[in-house]
């Protein structure tokens, strides 16, 4: 399964993909609205809005770039929230997917650690939860998130998770936002039920960053279940988690 829409093998410009370059830190970003069955079939991605941010110099300029990128991604997040009628008064469940015991798959939980909420506030409207993986709990992430969404009576869900990519250059330097949702375990082909509006009952936004590359994408003779990550993955994950958490703190 392909996680990032611009790696689907289709020329997205023919489908209305809008691409821009800011001129700072080599950041370029794009938007694709999959609004027809034909587009969905051609790309292999469900209907919705997809935002892609690529910043190859992210880890070279660090803090200055973090601030800028957070602002740019924040604009996209606010647009998705508005499109789905989620406001500063909406109750939102923030979900960090992945396995916290495996570094390359721990992005979701790292992001949640950096997002600020006030659990003692009477009018609490933001909730954080990390369901871990089925192999550790025996419980499907979908089931827990679905149950919490109903129990807490939230207006929307935002899901964070690590993605897989076909390009070494994109590891921890690309960001994908959408209002389509996310399928737990998709990066390693361990597919669960999809977290989306149709299945959960409320709008489901997702934020993903590629942190792993399946070795089979580089050489056919390499094991398909062998996952490659950057050698400085720990530092890079902290940076990426900080950027996304800052975006959420300022947008949601």
Q: Look at residue 14 and give its three-state secondary structure.
A: helix
pLDDT for 188 beyond 60: no
For the segment 49-80, what is each residue's pLDDT rounded down to a tens digit? Answer: 999 999 999 988 878 899 999 999 999 999 99
User: Which of 97-101, 120-124, 153-157 is most confident?
Assistant: 153-157
The answer to whether the predicted template modeling score (pTM) of the entire model surpasses 0.85 is yes
- Among 155-159, 168-172, 217-221, 238-242, the minimum mean pLDDT is found in 217-221
% helix / strand / coil in the chain, to the nearest 5? 40, 25, 40
Q: Look at residue 216 and give its three-state secondary structure.
A: helix
Note whether 111 and 241 are within 8 A (CB).
Answer: yes
Question: Which one has a higher pLDDT value, 146 or 63?
Answer: 146
Q: How many residues does the chain have?
A: 252
Q: How confident is the model at residue 187 (pLDDT cuts 50, 70, 90)?
A: low
What angle do helix axes 63-83 and 233-251 make, rounded to 10 degrees?
50
Q: Which pLDDT score, from 0 to 100, does residue 225 have?
A: 74
pLDDT for 198 beyond 70: yes
Q: Where are the domains of the chain?
A: 5-251
DSSP-derived letter for residue 182 is B
5-251 has CATH 3.40.50.300 classification: no
In angstroms, the CA 178 to CA 184 distance is: 15
- Among 9-18, 78-87, 134-143, the minimum mean pLDDT is found in 134-143
Mean pLDDT of the chain: 90
């Amino acid at each position: 399964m392909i996680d990032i829409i611009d790696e689907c093998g289709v020329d997205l410009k023919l489908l209305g993909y809008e691409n821009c370059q800011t001129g700072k830190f080599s950041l370029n970003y794009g938007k694709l609205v999959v609004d027809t069955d034909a587009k969905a079939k051609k790309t292999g991605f469900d209907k919705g809005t997809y935002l892609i941010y690529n910043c190859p110099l992210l880890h070279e300029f660090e803090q200055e770039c973090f601030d800028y990128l957070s602002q740019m991604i924040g604009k996209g997040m606010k647009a998705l929230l508005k499109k789905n009628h989620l406001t500063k008064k909406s109750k939102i469940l923030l979900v960090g997917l992945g396995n916290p015991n495996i570094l390359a798959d721990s992005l979701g939980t790292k992001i949640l650690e950096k997002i600020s909420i006030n659990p003692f506030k009477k009018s609490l409207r933001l909730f954080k939860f990390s369901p871990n993986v089925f192999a550790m709990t025996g419980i499907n992430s979908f089931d827990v998130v679905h149950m919490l969404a109903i129990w807490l009576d939230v207006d929307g869900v935002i899901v964070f998770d690590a993605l897989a990519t076909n390009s070494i250059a994109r590891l921890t330097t690309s960001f994908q936002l959408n209002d389509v949702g996310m399928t737990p375990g998709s990066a390693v082909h361990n597919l669960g039920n999809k977290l989306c509006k149709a299945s959960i009952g409320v709008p489901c936004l997702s934020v993903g960053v590629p942190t792993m590359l399946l070795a089979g994408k580089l050489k056919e003779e390499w094991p398909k279940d062998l996952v490659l990550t950057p050698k400085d993955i720990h530092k890079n994950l902290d940076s990426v988690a900080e950027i996304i958490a800052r975006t959420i703190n300022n947008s949601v």
